[in-house]
Amino acid sequence: MGTIQEAIDQSEKKNTNSTEALKRELSSVRTGRANPAILDGVMVDYYGSSTPLNQIASISAPEARLLVVQPWDPQSIPSIEKAIQQIGTGINPAIDGNILRLPIPALTEDRRKDMVKQVRQKIEESRISVRNNRRDSIEQIRSLEKNKDISQDESRRAQDQIQKITDSYINEIDLLGIEKEKEVMEV
């Protein structure tokens, strides 16, 4: 069936995965600042196959409001430009020789508020995931107790430990959310 430590380790691992997934999702939320991560999901039609942008070009942020995409194959520039325009971030690439310059427009107040809503939704989804991990781990502990593999005291201590782990991850998630909201609302 398993042990208390396995249940705790599993809870810890699932919560870490949930938090890492949240960090990746939050990095793709656009702020007023240039961040190469906003182009992470861009797929380019490269000689007939859909290829991630970061595999056919280097992406950098030389200035606070500018991204530069430098394709390794200059022939792919029109495809890259088209793919960036299709992601719907309001970013219009400007071709400058063999590179694309992407000026990042300042966000309007309404757009910022929409972004904050997105961030809050992602935060809540993460919290739910962490709470579901807690529920699964506690069920595992309770079944160990029910099968007389562990005592009631051991079960209570393990459940308390899982609750503490959950609280610390919920805290971390909340802090990530507050940080991202500040970043989004920054003018």
Instruction: List, for residues 95-119, the tens digit of each pLDDT value.
Output: 888 888 988 877 788 888 888 998 9
165 close to 135: Cβ distance less than 8 angstroms: no
Question: Tell me, what amino acid is at 154?
Answer: E
pLDDT digits (tens, 9 = 90+) for 33-75: 777 888 887 888 888 888 888 888 998 888 888 889 999 988 8
27 close to 41: Cβ distance less than 8 angstroms: no
Strand partners, 103: 66
Pairing of β 49-52 and β 43-46: antiparallel
Domains annotated for the chain, with CATH where assigned, are: 4-28+108-185 (1.10.132.20), 36-103 (3.30.1360.40)
pLDDT at 123 over 90: yes
Strand partners, 70: 58
Question: How many other β-carbons are positioned within 10 Å of the β-carbon of residue 59?
Answer: 20
Strand partners, 50: 45
Q: Report residue 187's pLDDT band, with 50, 70 and 90 as the boundaries.
A: low
At residue 29's C-alpha, the angle toward residues 26 and 31, to 5°, is: 120
**pTM listed for this prediction:** 0.69
pLDDT at 176 over 70: yes
Q: What's the sign of the alpha-carbon dihedral 69, 75, 81, 87? A: negative
